[in-house]
C-alpha cells in the first residue's frame, strides 16, 4: 500500500507539474507573443527550454514547501494527504485554465496541502505560511507593479528622443532576452514546489531522512514542466497578453524584466514560493499604466484578483473532501 501510494504521488506530482507548465506558460511568453517579438512556436520552445534549466538552479523553495507548510502524519495517512493535495491543485489548475484565468499554481498547491492537512488533523505551520506564503503573496504583486511602472517610465525617459519605430524594433529584440529570463525564473520558482511535495512524500514514507532534493526528482520535475510548457496554454496567453492592457515591446520588456527580478530575488534570498502568475500580471499592470490608468482594463484585472483570492479554498476544499472520502473507504 505504501509503495503504491508513493509511486502514485510521484506520477500525480509530475502530472501537476505538467499542468503547471501549460497553465503558467503564459507567464513567460504572453507579452512577447502579444507584441510580436516572438512567434508562438518559438516562444513556447524557448520557454520550455528555460523552464527545464531553471529547475536545476536551486532547491531552497523546495525545502520550504516540503518542510515549512505542513507536518504530514506518518506512513499511509500522510501519503494519502499529499496525494489529495496534489489532486485538489490539479483540479483548480484545469478549471482556471479552461476559464482562461491566470491564477497561481503555487497557491493552488499550498491550498491543497493545507486543506488536506486540516481534514487529516495534521500539523499546519501557520507561522511558516504567514512568513513564506501570505506576506510574499501580498508584497510580490505590489513590488511587481512598482518595478514595472518605474522601469517603463525610465525607458520612456531614456528613449524620449529616439525614433519610435527604431525603438520598437530594438525592444522586440530585447524581449527575447527578457522572456528567456522570465522562463528561467518560472522554472526556478515553480518546479521547486513539486519537488518539495515529492520529497515530503519520500520523507513521510521513511524513504529518506532530510528534505534535500535528489537529482532524479529535479530531472523528472524539470522534464514534466518543460513538456507542459511546450503544449501552450493559449487561453491564458490571450488574457495576459491582450485583455488586461495593450502592450508594445518597451512595455513588454519592462514587465518581463521586473517580474524576473522579483522571481530571482525571492527564490535565492527569501526562499519563498511566490506566484509567477501574480508577479507578471502585476508587472504588466504597472508597465501598462504609465501613460494613463484608463489604458488598463480594470474589470479584467478585478476578475483575476477574485480568482487569486478563491485559489486557496478552490484547491483546499476539494482536497479536504477527497481526503475524508478516501480515508473512510481505504484500509489504512
Kindly indicate the confidence band of residue 294, based on its pLDDT and cuts at 50, 70 and 90: low
Contact present, 319 and 72 (Cβ < 8 Å)? no
User: What share of the chain has pLDDT > 70, as a percent?
Assistant: 89
Q: Classify 71 as helix, strand or coil.
A: strand
Which residues span the domain enclosing 278? Answer: 1-329
Res. 320: pLDDT tops 90:
yes
Q: What is the pLDDT of residue 27?
A: 63
Q: What is the pLDDT of residue 101?
A: 72
Q: Region 102-128: what's the mean pLDDT?
A: 89
Q: Enter the C-alpha cell of residue 131.
A: 512568513
Kindly indicate the confidence band of residue 14, based on its pLDDT and cuts at 50, 70 and 90: very high
Low-confidence winner among 56-70, 76-90, 134-148, 293-307 (lowest mean pLDDT): 293-307
Res. 81: pLDDT tops 90:
yes
Kindly indicate the confidence band of residue 252, based on its pLDDT and cuts at 50, 70 and 90: confident
Q: Enter the C-alpha cell of residue 92.
A: 483548480
Q: What is the pLDDT of residues 159-207, one digit of tens each?
A: 988 888 888 889 989 988 998 998 899 889 888 989 999 999 998 888 8
Please calculate the CA angle 220-226-230 and round it to the nearest 5 degrees.
150
Q: What is the pLDDT of residue 295?
A: 58
Q: What is the pLDDT of residue 82?
A: 92
Res. 308: pLDDT tops 80:
no
State in Å, rounded, how far the first CA of the chain is from the last one.
8
User: What share of the chain has pLDDT > 90, as a percent?
Assistant: 34
Q: Region 260-274: what's the mean pLDDT?
A: 89
Tally the domains of the chain: 1
Is the Cα dihedral 12, 13, 18, 20 positive or negative? positive
Measured distance CA(230)–CA(215) in Å, rounded: 23
Amino acid at each position: 500500500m505504501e509503495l503504491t501510494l508513493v509511486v502514485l504521488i510521484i506520477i500525480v506530482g509530475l502530472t501537476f507539474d505538467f499542468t503547471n507548465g501549460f497553465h503558467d506558460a503564459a507567464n513567460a511568453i504572453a507579452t512577447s507573443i502579444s507584441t510580436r517579438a516572438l512567434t508562438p512556436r518559438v516562444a513556447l520552445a524557448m520557454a520550455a527550454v528555460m523552464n527545464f534549466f531553471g529547475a536545476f538552479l536551486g532547491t531552497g523553495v523546495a525545502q520550504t514547501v516540503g518542510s515549512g507548510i505542513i507536518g504530514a502524519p506518518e506512513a499511509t495517512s500522510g501519503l494519502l494527504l499529499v496525494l489529495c493535495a496534489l489532486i485538489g491543485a490539479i483540479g483548480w489548475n484545469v478549471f482556471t485554465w479552461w476559464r482562461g484565468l491566470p491564477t497561481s499554481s503555487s497557491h493552488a498547491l499550498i491550498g491543497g496541502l493545507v486543506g488536506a492537512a486540516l481534514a487529516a488533523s495534521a500539523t499546519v505551520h501557520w507561522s511558516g505560511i504567514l512568513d513564506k506564503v501570505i506576506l510574499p503573496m501580498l508584497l510580490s504583486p505590489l513590488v511587481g507593479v512598482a518595478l514595472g511602472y518605474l522601469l517603463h517610465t525610465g525607458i520612456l525617459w531614456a528613449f524620449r528622443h529616439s525614433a519610435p519605430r527604431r525603438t520598437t524594433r530594438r525592444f522586440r529584440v530585447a524581449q527575447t532576452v527578457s522572456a528567456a529570463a522570465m522562463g528561467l525564473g518560472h522554472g526556478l520558482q515553480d518546479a521547486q514546489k513539486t519537488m518539495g511535495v515529492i520529497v515530503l512524500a519520500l520523507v513521510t514514507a521513511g524513504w529518506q531522512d532530510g528534505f534535500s532534493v535528489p537529482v532524479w526528482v529535479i530531472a523528472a520535475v524539470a522534464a514534466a514542466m518543460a513538456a507542459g510548457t511546450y503544449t501552450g496554454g493559449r487561453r491564458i496567453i490571450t488574457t495576459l497578453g491582450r485583455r488586461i492592457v495593450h502592450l508594445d515591446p518597451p512595455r513588454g520588456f519592462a514587465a518581463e524584466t521586473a517580474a524576473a527580478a522579483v522571481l530571482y530575488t525571492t527564490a535565492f534570498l527569501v526562499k519563498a514560493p511566490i506566484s509567477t502568475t501574480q508577479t507578471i500580471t502585476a508587472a504588466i499592470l504597472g508597465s501598462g499604466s504609465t501613460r494613463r490608468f484608463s489604458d488598463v482594463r480594470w474589470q479584467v484585472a478585478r476578475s483575476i484578483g477574485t480568482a487569486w483570492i478563491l485559489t486557496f479554498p478552490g484547491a483546499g476544499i476539494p482536497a479536504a473532501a477527497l481526503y475524508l472520502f478516501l480515508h473512510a473507504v481505504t484500509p489504512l
